[in-house]
Amino acid sequence: MTTDDLSAKADRYLWGHFARHGPGITPPIITRGEGVRIFDDRGKSYLDALSGLFVVQVGHGRDELAEAAARQARTLAYFPLWSYATPPAIELAERVAHYAPGDLNRVFFTTGGGEAVETAWKLAKQYFKLTGKPGKYKVISRAVAYHGTPQGALAITGVPAQKAPFEPLTPGAVKVANTNFYRAPEPFNTDLKAFGQWAAERIGEAIEFEGPDTVAAVFLEPVQNAGGSIPPPPGYFERVRQICDDYDVLLVSDEVICAFGRIGSMFACDDFGYVPDMITCAKGLTSGYSPLGAMIARDRLFEPFNDGTTTFPHGYTFGGHPVSAAVALVNLDIFEREGLNDRVKHLAPQLRSTLERLYDLPIVGDVRGEGYFYSIELVKDQASRETFTKEERRRLLPALSSALYDAGLYCRIDDRGDPVIQLAPPLISGQAEFDEIEAVLRAVLADAL
C-alpha cells in the first residue's frame, strides 16, 4: 500500500484515541521501530523520547520478544483465567510478586492500566463489605492526576475536561492537592519538606471531612503523570502511609507508568520507601510487545476470598493472556540480563542535568521528574512563573508539537495542568540520546520565543 493509500484509509476508517478528526487532519503513520527510534511510512526516523506512551522500556525491534509470543501461540494461544490457570500466568504471577515489596503476593491480571485501576477500586469496596465495613466505598486522589478511562478509573482521575463528556461518573471520588512544588501555595513554596507534609495532611483532612467510615482507598502515582512528572517531596509517602493506617484506608500505588524501571526500581514505591496495599501496573510489564496489566494486592486483602466459597466477581476475557504473559517473562529476563534498573538509577542524574541546560531559555519554567520520566513546564515569564492564557496555549502548543515532530523528536505536549513537554525515553537510552533530546528541544523552543 502506498503512503497516500494508507492516509486515505486512515482518514476514512480509523477512529484515533484522544485524537482530533476533520478536513486536513491526517495522523502520522508509524511503520517500524528499532532500538530507540521509530520510522514513518516515508522512511523518516524519529527519536522515540516517550517510549511509545511510557511503554517500550527495552526498546523497539527485540526479536526475542516476538519469538516468545510466537512460541507461546503455537503451544497455547488463548485460555481464560476464569477458574482455570495457564503456566505463563502462574510463572509471571510468582515473578511479579517477588519483585513487589512486603507481602504484596496476589496478582490479578488485566489487559491494561485503566482496568487495573478499576480492579483495585472494586476490590477495595468488596474487601470492606466482607470485613464488616460496608460503608467504605469512596476514593481519594489528587488534582490533575490521570488514572484511566473506564468509568471508575475516570472518576478517580482529577482532570475535569476529560470527565465532563461522560458524567455522571461512578460516585465517591474525592480530590486533594497534588505535590507540584513549582506551583506550591504560600507559605509552603520555600520549604519542600514542609510542602510535602502540608500536601499529605490534605489527605487526612479529606478523610475526616468525608467520614473515615466512608473512605476505602487513596490512589496515588509515585510520580504524577498529568500536570507534568510531579515527584513526591521528602517524607510525603511516609506520612500518607501513616494516615491510611490510622483510618483503615487502603493505599493504592498507581504505577501504570512508574513501574518496571521507569523511575529505577521494578516498582517505584521502593524508590520512595513505602509499602502500599495494592499496586496497579501495565505498560512496561511487556514493554508494549503485547497488552497486559495487573493489580497486585497484599495477602490480607486476599484472605476473605480464600474460604472456598467467596469469589471476586470481576475479570477480563484477555486478562493474563498466555501470549502476553510469556512475552512479559522474557521482557523481565531482558531487564535482569541487561541491568536496566541499575542503568536508570545510574544515568538518571545525567538526564536531569542535560535537560536543566534548557533553563537558559526564558520559556522554560521548571524541569522536574525522576528516573527516566521528566517534564519541562513552559511559561510566559520565567521570573514570575506566569503561565500562558487558554488562547495562547491554543496557538502555541500544537505548533510546538508539530515542530518537535518535524525536527525528529517524538515526545508529548501536555496541557492537562500547566503546559509541559513530557519525556520518557526507552530505558536503553544514554547520554547520546539525552543530548539529542536537548538539542532538538533547544532549537524548537528558541524559535518559539
pLDDT confidence of residue 373: 98
Q: Using CB atoms within 10 A of its CB, is residue 292 exposed (0-12), middle (13-18) or buried (19+)? A: buried
- Is 79 found in the same domain as 164? yes
Per the structure, the count of domains in the chain is 2
pLDDT confidence of residue 98: 98
- Is 355 found in the same domain as 334? no
CATH code where residue 250 lies:
3.40.640.10
- Is 152 found in the same domain as 14? no
Instruction: With CA atoms as reference, report the closest residue to 109 among 372, 315, 359, 415.
Output: 315
- Which residues are CB-neighbours of 147 under 8 A, at least 6 positions away? 114, 117, 141, 153, 154, 156, 157, 219, 221, 254
Q: What nine digits make up the cell of 315? A: 475479570
Neighbours of 43 (CB within 10 A): 9
Report whether 94 contacts 279 (CB < 8 A).
no
- Is 300 found in the same domain as 422? no
Q: What is the pLDDT of residues 275-301, one digit of tens each?
A: 999 999 999 999 999 999 999 999 999
- Is 328 found in the same domain as 362? no
- Is 117 found in the same domain as 11? no
- Is 252 found in the same domain as 118? yes
CATH code where residue 444 lies:
3.90.1150.10
pLDDT band with cut points at 50, 70 and 90 for residue 449: confident
- Is 194 found in the same domain as 323? yes
Q: How far apart, in whole angstroms, are the C-alpha atoms of residue 233 and residue 218?
A: 17
- Is 440 found in the same domain as 305? no
- Is 219 found in the same domain as 184? yes
- Is 185 found in the same domain as 324? yes
Given a cut of 90, whether residue 2 has pLDDT beyond it is no
Report whether 44 contacts 276 (CB < 8 A).
no
Q: Using CB atoms within 10 A of its CB, is residue 263 exposed (0-12), middle (13-18) or buried (19+)? A: buried
Given a cut of 90, whether residue 178 has pLDDT beyond it is yes
Given a cut of 90, whether residue 179 has pLDDT beyond it is yes
Model-wide pTM > 0.85: yes
Final residue before a domain boundary, out of 311, 338, 365 = 338
Report whether 272 contacts 251 (CB < 8 A).
no
Q: What is the pLDDT of residues 3-31, one digit of tens each?
A: 889 999 999 999 999 999 999 899 999 99
pLDDT confidence of residue 3: 82
Q: What is the pLDDT of residues 344-374, one digit of tens each?
A: 999 999 999 999 999 999 999 999 999 999 9
CA distances from 301 to 107, 129, 237, 240 (A): 11, 12, 21, 19
- Is 154 found in the same domain as 252? yes
Final residue before a domain boundary, out of 338, 370, 386 = 338
Final residue before a domain boundary, out of 290, 308, 338 = 338
Hunting for cell 521570573 — which residue is that?
383
Q: How far apart, in whole angstroms, are the C-alpha atoms of residue 150 and residue 163?
A: 10
Give the structural domain span for 191: 65-338
